Structure 1
Amino acid sequence: MQTDRHVGENPPPPPGGGSGSQRAEGSQPRHRMPASLPPHSQAAVAQRMNDVPMRPVPGIFYTGSHQSIHPTGWRLRRHIKRKNLRQTLNTIALSDRIGTGTLLPMAASLFSVFLIMVLIFVTVVGFINATHERFGDKITTLEDILPKDSTRIYDVHGKLIFQMMDQGLQTSEPLDKISPHLAHAEIAIEDQNFYKNPGYDITGILRAAISDMTTNKVVSGGSTITQQLIKNSIVGNQATMLRKLQEVILAPDISHYYTKEQILQMYLNTTYYGERCYGAEEAALAYFGLKDTPTQTAAQQLDIAQSAMLAGIPSSPIARDPFLHPKAAAIRMQEVLQQMYNQGYITAQERADAIMESQKPNFIKHRGFVNNRIAPHFVNYTLRELADDLHVKISDLSRAGLVVMTTLDLDLQNKVLKTAQKHIAEMARVHNMSNAAVVVLDQHTGAIRTLVGNIDPDNPTYGDFDVASQGYRQPGSSFKPYIYATAFDEGISPGETVLDGPLTIQMCCGLPSYSPHNYDERFHGWVSYRYALQNSFNIPAVKLLLRTGVDKALHTAQSMGLTTYEGIPNYTMVLGSLSVHLIDNTAGYATFANGGVRVPPHAINTIKDQNGKLILQITPQPVRVLRKETAFMITDVLSDNDSRIYEFGKCSSLVLYKTTMNQCYAGRPGPIRPSAAKTGTSNDFRDNWTMGYTTDVTVGVWAGNNDNSPMVNVTGVDGAGPIWHDTMLLAEKGQPIRLFPGPPDTLVRKTATYPGKTTTDWHLK
């Protein structure tokens, strides 16, 4: 093919040379270079304008063959395929639009539902785990954490004297000591599938839920007996769905750890039956007046009618209280009987008989007031001691399930109380005496056999006040033996003499001087300490305190039992200026009686739980605080009735004869029991005391007025003395008469001459 020449190229030179070209013969031809134009000149620009390419010819030019390579009809088929493809693509696009608008929200909704279900599942599992974690330990220890019985206090003979009731009354009994009729009645009305269900009843829960939703309030619990036990002992009784779920979660665990009999026993002993009664035993007492017999408990005596009545109460203890709402209680009782009949626990005849029984006038018998005032002051003392022994507050003892056996002899206490009341009544009008307190101690064990803190415990003004253990009263001359014991312990003999004469003591710190006087306002010259103590002379006692010192004498009193006092210790304390508790003063004399060995007084013998397991047995530790020689000399002096005849006479109330005083003075005293005693009278006759002991017991008596007002011309021997005398005879009734122990080997009885007198008495070797 011919190659196109670009426009503007220089043509080849013409053959034979061109015009104007001179070439010498025989010379080589000369090449010419075309003239070049400056690239930016107008000529060059004009020349380049012709360089535009030619417009292409329309159509496609193929260098190859133009023969068709596709079979006939191919284009039609391709058109149809493309049409179908467009329809398919349109269908897909439509489906995508439908999926985006409809299926995607549906999928999102399904995912949301799934997510919510997962969250609910996780929440439920978490709640179940949290419930088990929180209450799991309580399941295995359910019997320990159940509400315990009311703490009960008994006297030494096993007679109930007090039952704490500020948090309700409960006395648990084993299942075989509870009437089976009550068990059947409770199951029939509360949980008819009790022996079959796992602790909860889905049918009952649904029925209760429908009832609650219908009334728009909680009217039915749907709880099984197991759930009610859980509510009462573990999760609480709040009326919430959360609490109900916790019951359902924990119920199978309870059924796993305990038998149905154990669950039923726990329920029947702790469920609330109204009238402050928890459990079948207290309910039987409260509603039907049933009492324990040697062979049956009160709960064991419940018949069908009584059981049906009680079983109807727990679901609404106030609204179905037979005392408050007898009609509602009767209706509920018939519902219980009907369920018992339907479930085969009773026959139709038994149901009819029970209804007839319930309609009798005396079907419900209120047991009346719970008498906790049998020995109120002793009980209060016991509660304080109990709280101290267990290191708790008294309020924590109410439902502690404790059975406390005390040292109290209730029969003796009642007799002593009557004796004190009788004597005070005789003295009240003439001598303005209105009250007395009495303590009887066993000096060998420290047991408090009697504690009368007030002769009128039911008095609304002062009846609750316990003078014996809470009142501070001045002991008068009954304090003197502590000073004498201090002196005897230092080697002074009871036979040593002292001048009973005028005495003035210069007091320190600007206080006026002190001049003691005897009660009879007389001086008695040289007297022995034995004689001075027995006749309660004041001046010799003050002089003896000057020898021993206030601190030593006070220490002696405190070590012997005076745990606390009011007042300032000084030389006047020998005359009883310090105020003390009667029980402390009695404990001090009990130390004399026990040969110088102090045994702290106590009101409790044993503490057991409601199942009879021993928690604590009180065994006070004896401590020697006085030499046995000293204790013997004090006893020998205080029991020397001949030495006190001058002040008290031969047949005073300090002498334990069994006949009357007149018969005693007539020479017919009868058998006389040896005793050691000391009286005391505070200033202005505000307090009368008589303290003393035998070989068996120590008795302390205070007499006076609650407001501490003066009595009229009455001393200890006349005021408190007769009560002490009669109390001693009551306490010693039936006991053999025994002499006090003889002197220790370290004492010798010898005659010695002292200023003013020659005496024969005991001396330390």
Structure 2
Amino acid sequence: MRRRALLVVLLTGGCALPAAALPSFAEVKAAHPTSETRFLDRHGELLQRQRTDPTVRQGAWVALPEVSPALRGALVYSEDRRFYEHSGVDWQAVAAAAWGNLWNTRTRGASTLTMQLAGLLDSDLKAGANGRRWTQKAGQAVWAQWLETRWRKDQILEAYLNRVPFRGEIVGVDALARSLFAKAPHGLNADEAAITAALVRAPNAAPERVAARACEVQQAMARAQGAKADCLSVRLLAGSVLRDRRWAASEGDAPHAARRALAEWRQQAGTRAVPAQVRTTLWAPLQREAQTLLQRQLRSLLGRRVEDGAVVVLDNTSGEVLAWVGSSGLLSQAAEVDGVTALRQPGSTLKPFLYAQALAEKRLSAASLIEDAPTHIPTAGGLYIPQNYDRHFRGWVSVRTALASSLNIPAVRTLAMVSPEDFAVQLLRLGLPLRESGDYYGLGLALGSPEVSLLSLANAYRTLANQGRHAPVAPLLAGPRLAVRSEAVLDPGAAFIVGDILSDANARAATFGTDSLLATRVWTAVKTGTSKDMRDNWAVGWSQRYTVGVWVGNASGAPMGDVSGTTGAAPVWAGLMRWLHERQPSRAPTPPAGVVAQAVRFGQQLEPARREWFIAGTEQPLFALGTDSDSGAPALRPRILSPATGTILAIDPDIPPAHQRLTLRAEAGHVRWRIDGQPLGKGQEVAWMPWPGKHQIELLNARGEVLDRVRIEVRGAGVRPTTATPRRPPARNPVAGTS
């Protein structure tokens, strides 16, 4: 047996192999298999590694200069000391091995690095359970000599390091360095290099044996240099790393975006195959900045029961995603949940679209007055009693103040004008995926009762940035794509006016103060929002070029502790806008056609005079309650404040009728009242004795024109008046009925 092996080795020196049967170095490198997909940013910078082959751990190809000199030296010294001297077959080692076999003495072995590489490149040369057959060894020798004539030594060593199996499922130096030592191959030190070299000889040996072999390598190298090696550190290190696998299945700065991009790639390719590399539209510096700002903000909220967040940044023109941070990473107990696509209640962030619709329908202008006062609105489920976030009421305010200061009651009144169903249709056109109809959500739709994703909400705000033109978010995959036509879903004038309001620091001062984080040094428009019980808070807004959306909350849906949009999400939003526009200006948009500016003032000193934007046809110089004494301008059309339409009253037969009068209230005093077509009285307040039945209450001006009407129902026992004209009880000390 020993003679036959020696004869084979001697014969192989004269063997030749057709060059066409063997690959070039470039072909081997290009066909390098990997168990992961590398996700790159728009400029080719690595963002994320995602394991996609569960059967093996094999990283990307590593160039030889990117491998630490310590590992290169240890490997060559351990496996093939004459690597740079022989031409593929180390005949000196062959002779020593043959002599050792003859006398049953131990030698290093005759297999060179080049021969081992040949066995890694050709599956026919792969060793079986009982080792390689003599024909395989001969083939290795032939391959090795051929490789040495066509490949450089550095190419052979580089290919070997990338294809050699190490421990278990680990193949190649990249996977080994990241799995065992949690670092890149260029960072391996002398101890780590010795352990790596030891694993080549005995990949699955016990840690004690690997440590002993690594110690031998270190001592041999030290003796060659006239030094001594201390093996204690390498023994301790081997015992720990060989029991601890540190290479996570996903590693990098964009795990959630990587999963999304991989799904898009598979859909586009029509296959479940795994690509080695995917280039995305993300911008790596921005992605890392968004991640850093989010984690820093959540750490500052320590103790307030908040651990999750998400960020998305869109390019206004192309719709490309520039940053996608799906979670707070290690700060979260649900880091796998993607906060960019998860459905959450958006709170007040829907208000800009509501006011845009009311402006477009010419129901309101930015200077129109809406009352911010306690109100009870009857609904099918009972009375709806909206509240402002700070529990304060500001009386009559303009639409500009109501939206910029995020007042809830004016928003609910506006939705009553627009109707929940029509508003829901508008939200669907903006790409917000409502699960139910507008009537299902009711007036709560104004305050963000449905659930939407951060991605769809940010893209809806991008529609405002593009003056009402909507287009879907572009795929995460970079590269050429078909042009997507945008659709006009909002009046451009209304979108412009809403953007102007959301950029107005003075208009938001009533709620946020004059030094709010929302006031950036460049032009931006922004809206915050907080959902019920502080379960979600948001900051979404845009500049001339970018739309930024931030969500902060808990993936579990648990409420936070006193964290609002301004204290939770807004600092991250403001930090990103500062970073994006550190050297890039952002200018206010140009007003579109059909928008006019006019100086306005307000009666009763409700708000300071200013210059305001209007959709053409809605402009007027004065907004007042009643008749403004200074100019004699007409008043706003008065409304009925109480009772609300749909109110149901119950008459109690045990209470004297005089104590069950209902007080009717209007916004202004120069009005007349009519019930069921019959006159009742004049003035801002009138008392009425109710009787059973359904009634229509109307408010009229001096010319008899109907200004407003409500319908109510009275139930229970009562005495009908004997005349056709309703009784007019004394107006003094009126008492409201029981509802």
Q: 1:514 to 1:240 in 2, by over 3 A?
A: farther
Q: Is the 8 A contact 1:495 1:760 kept in 2?
A: yes
2:445 corresponding residue in structure 1: 573
**Aligned to 2:353, which of 438, 458, 482?**
482
- Write the mapping of 1:2-151 to structure 2, written as runs, cut at 5 A: 145-148=31-34, 150-151=36-37
**1:387 pairs with 2:279:** no
**1:534 pairs with 2:404:** yes
**1:735 pairs with 2:583:** yes
Q: 1:415 to 1:621 in 2, by over 3 A?
A: same
- Write the mapping of 1:322-721 to structure 2, written as runs, cut at 5 A: 325-331=210-216, 352-353=223-224, 356=227, 358-359=229-230, 378-391=254-267, 400=276, 406-408=282-284, 409=286, 412-413=289-290, 415-425=292-302, 428=303, 435-446=308-319, 448=321, 450-455=323-328, 457-459=329-331, 462-466=333-337, 468-490=339-361, 494-495=365-366, 497=368, 500=371, 502=375, 504=377, 507=380, 512=381, 515=384, 517-519=386-388, 528-542=398-412, 544-545=414-415, 548=418, 550=420, 553-554=423-424, 556-562=426-432, 564=433, 569=438, 570-571=441-442, 572-597=444-469, 616=479, 623-626=486-489, 628-656=492-520, 672-711=521-560, 715-721=564-570
Q: What letter corresponds to residue 168 of structure 1 in structure 2? A: R
Q: 1:543 to 1:403 in 2, by over 3 A?
A: closer
Q: 1:518 to 1:235 in 2, by over 3 A?
A: farther
**1:762 pairs with 2:614:** yes
SS in 2 for 1:743: coil
Distance 2:121 2:89 in 1: 19
Distance 1:246 1:147 in 2: 27
Deviations 1:219-270 (A, max 9, x none): x998985676555774697835799699689877998899455666433311
Distance 1:139 1:250 in 2: 19
Deviations 1:147-188 (A, max 9, x none): 227434466788755434674353423467666757855873
Tell me by how many angstroms 1:479 deviates: 1.3
Q: 1:651 to 1:187 in 2, by over 3 A?
A: closer
Q: 1:144 to 1:359 in 2, by over 3 A?
A: same
Tell me by how many angstroms 1:743 deviates: 0.5
Distance 1:208 1:542 in 2: 94
Q: Is the 8 A contact 1:600 1:622 kept in 2?
A: no
2:202 corresponding residue in structure 1: 316
Distance 2:102 2:278 in 1: 44
Tell me by how many angstroms 1:676 deviates: 1.6
Deviations 1:715-758 (A, max 9, x none): 434554455445544554x2355431220234223579999999
Q: What letter corresponds to residue 380 of structure 1 in structure 2? A: H
Q: Is the 8 A contact 1:493 1:763 kept in 2?
A: no
Q: What letter corresponds to residue 151 of structure 1 in structure 2? A: T
Q: What letter corresponds to residue 614 of structure 2 in structure 1? A: W
- Write the mapping of 1:96-245 to structure 2, written as runs, cut at 5 A: 145-148=31-34, 150-153=36-39, 162-164=48-50, 167-174=56-63, 185=77, 188=80, 195=87, 234=123, 239-240=128-129
Q: What letter corresponds to residue 256 of structure 2 in structure 1? A: N
Percent identity for Structure 1 against Structure 2: 22
Q: What letter corresponds to residue 339 of structure 2 in structure 1? A: A
Distance 2:127 2:379 in 1: 74
Distance 1:205 1:396 in 2: 46
Q: Is the 8 A contact 1:597 1:622 kept in 2?
A: no
Q: Is the 8 A contact 1:407 1:603 kept in 2?
A: no
> Larger deviation: 482-491 or 749-758?
749-758
**Aligned to 1:269, which of 145, 162, 185?**
162
Distance 1:190 1:514 in 2: 90
Q: 1:760 to 1:356 in 2, by over 3 A?
A: closer
Distance 2:296 2:290 in 1: 10
Q: Unpaired segments of 5 or more residues in structure 1?
A: 1-134, 212-219, 338-349, 607-615, 657-671
Q: Is the 8 A contact 1:674 1:694 kept in 2?
A: yes
> Larger deviation: 542-551 or 570-579?
542-551
Relative contact order, CA 8 A, sep 6+: which one is greater? 1
- The TM-score with structure 1 as length reference comes to 0.57
Distance 1:443 1:298 in 2: 41
Q: Is the 8 A contact 1:191 1:224 kept in 2?
A: yes
Q: 1:487 to 1:676 in 2, by over 3 A?
A: same
Q: What letter corresponds to residue 342 of structure 2 in structure 1? A: G
SS in 1 for 2:613: strand
Q: What letter corresponds to residue 212 of structure 2 in structure 1? A: K
Tell me by how many angstroms 1:654 deviates: 2.7
Q: What letter corresponds to residue 325 of structure 1 in structure 2? A: V
- The TM-score with structure 2 as length reference comes to 0.59
Q: How many residues align?
A: 566
Q: Is the 8 A contact 2:25 2:151 kept in 1?
A: no
Deviations 1:167-218 (A, max 9, x none): 43534234676667578558738999984579xx99999999999xxxxxxx
Distance 2:566 2:545 in 1: 22
Which has the larger share of helix? 1
Q: 1:197 to 1:237 in 2, by over 3 A?
A: closer
Q: Is the 8 A contact 1:598 1:623 kept in 2?
A: yes
Q: 1:590 to 1:496 in 2, by over 3 A?
A: same
> Larger deviation: 462-471 or 550-559?
550-559
Tell me by how many angstroms 1:700 deviates: 2.8
Distance 2:135 2:326 in 1: 51
> Larger deviation: 160-169 or 136-145?
136-145
Q: What letter corresponds to residue 314 of structure 1 in structure 2? A: V
Q: Unpaired segments of 5 or more residues in structure 2?
A: 1-20, 104-108, 618-739
Q: Is the 8 A contact 2:311 2:548 kept in 1?
A: yes
Tell me by how many angstroms 1:136 deviates: 11
Tell me by how many angstroms 1:583 deviates: 3.4
Q: What letter corresponds to residue 574 of structure 1 in structure 2? A: A
> Larger deviation: 226-235 or 585-594?
226-235
Q: What letter corresponds to residue 457 of structure 2 in structure 1? A: N
SS in 1 for 2:254: helix
2:696 corresponding residue in structure 1: none
Which has the larger share of strand? 2
Q: What letter corresponds to residue 592 of structure 2 in structure 1? A: P
SS in 2 for 1:641: coil
Tell me by how many angstroms 1:638 deviates: 1.3
Q: What letter corresponds to residue 643 of structure 1 in structure 2? A: A
SS in 2 for 1:417: helix
Q: What letter corresponds to residue 623 of structure 1 in structure 2? A: S
> Larger deviation: 229-238 or 632-641?
229-238
SS in 1 for 2:526: strand
Distance 1:419 1:440 in 2: 18
Tell me by how many angstroms 1:576 deviates: 0.7
Q: 1:332 to 1:703 in 2, by over 3 A?
A: closer
Tell me by how many angstroms 1:420 deviates: 1.0
**Aligned to 2:593, which of 742, 745, 751?**
745
Tell me by how many angstroms 1:357 deviates: 6.1
Q: Is the 8 A contact 1:285 1:298 kept in 2?
A: no
> Larger deviation: 413-422 or 250-259?
250-259
Q: Is the 8 A contact 2:405 2:511 kept in 1?
A: yes
SS in 2 for 1:643: coil
